[in-house]
A and B are shown apart, each in its own frame.
Chain A
Amino acid sequence: MNSIPATAATTLDVTWPDLALVAMLVLVAIGLSRWQRLGLERGFFVGALRAVVQLVAVGYVLVYLFQATRWWLVLLALAVMLVAATSTATRRRRGQTTGAGERRALWGIGGTAMLVSSGLTLAYVTQVVLHVRPWYDPRYLIPLFGMIVGNAMNGAALAAERMASEMESRRGEVEAYLALGATPARAAAEPVRRALVAALIPSVNGLMTVGLVQLPGMMTGQILAGQSPLLAVRYQVVVAFMLAGATAMTAVMVVLWYRRTFFTAAAQLAARVPV
C-alpha cells in the first residue's frame, strides 16, 4: 500500500501486504476453476506458491551476485542457466520416440550449440554494442543471457523436433536420393530446410509484431522503472535483434550437427533404435 504519488523517476514500491492483496486474483482464478469444474484449483495453488518461492530465491541469488560482482560467480550463474536450458530443450516430450542414447546425443549437440551461439551473442552485445563495464557486470549479463538462452532453447527444441519428424516422414525420399549416389547433405536438404524454417518462423513473427501485440517484458519493466520509453525502445531493438541472431545460429548448428546422426559413414540411413 503506497499512497505517496510517484514522480516520473521513481517506481511504486510493492510491499509484502501488497502481494497478499494481489494473491486475491489467484483466488479468483481458483474460484472460477471450481465453479466451472476445471480441476485446476490445485494447479493454481501449487503454481502460485512455486512462483513466489522460485522468484524470491532467484531474487536473493541476484542480490548476492550483484553485491559480490565476482567474474567467476557471474560465469557460474551463466553456466547454470545454460545447463537448465539444455535440459529443458532436450527433455523427453510426450509421444516422442527418441531413445535415451539419442537424447544424450541431443544434449551434447544442443548444449554445445547454445554455448557457442549464446556465448558469442552475449559477448558481442555486451562488449561491442553496449560497452558494459566491468565486462562481467551481472546487471546486464544475467538478464540478457537469460533472454538469449531462453530463445535459443526454444529454437533448438523446435529445430531438433522438426528435423526428427521430417527425417521420419521423408525417409523414402531421403533414401531415394541416397540410392542415386547423393551425399547425406544433399539427401537431407529438404528436411534440413523445413526444420530450420520451423525453428525460425517464431523469430520472424516476433520481429514483425514486437510492440504491436504486447510490450515486451523488459521494455515494460524499464518503463515501469521510470525510464524514458525511447531508451526502453532502443534497448528493445537490441534485444529483438540479438534474439533473432542467436536463435538462427543455434538452430543452424543444431540441425546440421543433428543431421549427421541420421546417417552412417557409408551414406546409409542409420538404424534408429527407440527405447
Chain B
Amino acid sequence: MSWDGGASPLFSLRGVTQERGGAVILRDLTLDLPRTAITALVGPSGAGKTSLLRLLNRLDDPTAGQVAFDGQPITAYPVGALRRRVGFVFQTPAMFPGTVAANLRTAAELGHVAASPDAPAIERVLSAVELSADYAAREAGRLSGGEQQRVSLARALMTGPDVLLLDEPTSALDPEVAERLLATIARLTRERGVAVVMVTHRLSEARETSTYTVMLEGGRLVEAGPTERLFTAPASGRTRAYLATAD
C-alpha cells in the first residue's frame, strides 16, 4: 500500500460511538482520514483523541459504527495482521524485559519477520530512530523517557508497518527532545513511506509537522482539513477559540 495513492481514504469512520463505563467518549463520529504523511488529532483534554486513535488498530472496538482501513472494514483483517500493518506507539513507553536489541528482536518475531534481525539490521533500525549502535546492548528499562520513546518507535518499525499511530509521543519529553523526535518522525514518513496519525495537545506540533488536522471536542468532530487551511482560516468558531489558547 502507498499512502499517497489509491482511491479510498486511509481510515474512514462512519457513525462511530464509543462508551466506557457509562460515559460517552466519542459521539456519532463520521470522518475520513486521507492518505497523507502526518495527520494530527487535536483538541482539549477529554476530546476523545486517544480513544479515536485506539480504534484504528483495534486496541478497542467502538460501541457502535464502523471503521474501515484501506477500503476494507477493519474487522475483516485478522487482528494480528492489522496491528503489524498499523503500528501503535503509546504515550508512556513500556519496555520489554532485556536489552534494546532483545526488544527489537521480540518485535521482529511478533511481526513474523522471516529471519531474526542480525546486528547490522538492528543497527539500521536504531539509526532510523537516531540512536547509535551501542544502544543495542543497553538495558531498555534503564533508558531515559526520550530514548525509550525512540526504542518504542524502532520496535513499531520492526514489523514493517504502513501506518504508525502515535499517542502524544512527546508529552513526557523536554521541548528540545520532543522537537528532535518529531523531526525523526517526519523523516521516517518521507524515507519509509509510513503514514502517521498522531495525537497531540501541543498545537505548535500539529502546525509544524502535520499535513492534515482533525479537531475534536467533547467526543465530537469540530473540523477537519489540511493543516495549513485549518490554522489560517478555521471554519468553526470553536476551532478559532481553541487555536487562540495555543501553547
Contact = CB atoms under 8 A, between A and B. Distances in A.
Interface of A: 170, 172-173, 175-183, 186, 190, 264, 266-269, 271, 273
B21 interface: yes
Contacts of B156: 179-180
Given A173-B96, A186-B110, A267-B79, A180 B159 contact: yes
B43 interface: no
Given A173-B96, A190-B97, A179 B111 contact: no
A173 B97 CA distance: 9
B90 A180 contact: no
Given A175-B59, A176-B90, A176-B152, A181 B81 contact: yes
B50 interface: no
B22 to A, nearest CB: 10
A180 B83 CA distance: 6
Contacts of B110: 177, 180-182, 186
Interface of B: 20-21, 57-61, 75, 79-84, 87-88, 90, 92, 94-97, 106-107, 110-112, 152, 155-156, 158-159
Contact of A180 (B21, B75, B95, B155): B155
A269 B37 CA distance: 30
A178 B61 CA distance: 14
Nearest to B84: A181
A181 B96 contact: no
6 contacts: A178-B59, A180-B84, A180-B107, A181-B83, A266-B58, A266-B61
Contacts, number: 68
A178 B83 contact: yes
B60 A172 contact: no
A267 B80 CA distance: 8
Contacts of B81: 181
Contacts of A179: 57, 59, 83, 87-88, 90, 156
B90 A266 contact: no
B80 A183 contact: yes
Contacts of A170: 94
Contacts of A264: 61
Q: Top 9 closest A-B pairs, CB basis?
A: A172-B94, A179-B88, A181-B80, A181-B83, A180-B110, A181-B84, A173-B94, A176-B94, A182-B110
Contacts of B111: 180-181
Contacts of B75: 266
A172 B81 CA distance: 21
Contacts of A271: 20-21
Nearest to B103: A176
Contacts of A273: 21
B59 A268 contact: yes
A217 to B, nearest CB: 41
Nearest to B165: A179
B24 to A, nearest CB: 15
Contacts of A172: 90, 92, 94
Contacts of B84: 180-181
B96 A176 contact: yes
Nearest to A177: B110
Nearest to A171: B94
A215 B26 CA distance: 63
A177 B96 CA distance: 8
Contacts of B159: 180-181
Contacts of B95: 173
B156 to A, nearest CB: 7
B207 to A, nearest CB: 27
Given A172-B94, A175-B90, A179-B87, A268 B80 contact: no
A179 B57 CA distance: 8
A79 to B, nearest CB: 39
Contacts of B94: 170, 172-173, 175-176
Contacts of B82: 181
Contacts of A267: 58, 79-80
A268 B58 contact: yes
B80 to A, nearest CB: 4
Nearest to B97: A190
Nearest to B85: A181
A181 B158 CA distance: 12
A187 to B, nearest CB: 9
Contacts of B57: 179
A178 B92 CA distance: 15
Contacts of A268: 58-61
Contacts of B106: 180
A275 B11 CA distance: 36
A186 B80 CA distance: 12
